[in-house]
Amino acid sequence: MNILKKLSFTALITLFTLGMYSCKTKKMVAKPDPVPAAKPTPPVEEKKPEPVKEPEKPAPVEKPNYNFENIQFEFNSFVLKTASFPILDKIVVEIKKDPAVKFVLNGHSSAEGTPEHNMSLSVDRANAVKSYLINAGIDPQRFTISGHGDKEPVSTNSTEEGRALNRRVQINAQI
């Protein structure tokens, strides 16, 4: 029985070893995680280029109207009348339309007084208009002053209405 025990013991060890050997060859292989299915990427929307805008053309500038009304003055005065301000404001708008144009400010007087006084008064009247225009933002280099005294009347000097019309400043464009 001893031999049988030895044999059985040896057989057992052999079987055990073989079993172990077979276990070693059967290594557990971890299965890889399944690759997640790729999410479909949303289609990229192509941005349409914005239409090219043509540069805006500036609004056509109105041609200036250089037919100015005469600026009237009181007897023996070169102070601007309040009634002349709206006229002068319209003149400023027209003059600013073309900064290249120069102007002659022609001062006049009625026939009352001496020729020397009337000449001086006509120059002072033209300078009063020039000061107003300069204060409105117009370049003083654009103006030339000319005094005519009572030599170029637009109406008769025999009536007060005629003399009032002769007390004036005319603005002429030098185009």
pLDDT at 42: 66
Q: Please state, as a whole number, how many other Cβ atoms lie within 10 Å of the Cβ of residue 76.
A: 13
| Separation between Cα atoms, residue 38 and residue 152, nearest integer Å | 99
For residue 141, what are its two tokens?
A: 């280099």
pLDDT at position 40:
65
pLDDT confidence of residue 64: 83
Tell me, what DSSP letter sits at residue 153?
Answer: -
Local confidence pLDDT in tens for the 175 residues of the chain: 555 455 555 555 555 555 555 545 555 556 666 666 666 666 666 666 677 666 666 666 678 888 898 999 999 999 999 999 999 999 999 999 999 999 999 999 999 999 999 999 999 999 999 999 999 999 999 999 999 999 999 999 999 999 999 999 999 999 7
With vertex at residue 104, the alpha carbon angle to CA 103 and CA 108, rounded to the nearest 5 degrees, is: 145
- How many Cβ atoms sit within 10 Å of the Cβ of residue 122? 28
> Out of 1.25.40.10, 3.30.1330.60, 3.40.50.300, 3.90.180.10, which CATH number does the structure's domain 71-174 have?
3.30.1330.60
For 85, half-sphere exposure in the C-beta direction (CA atoms, 13 angstrom radius) is 4
The pLDDT value recorded for residue 167 is 95
At residue 133, the pLDDT reads 97
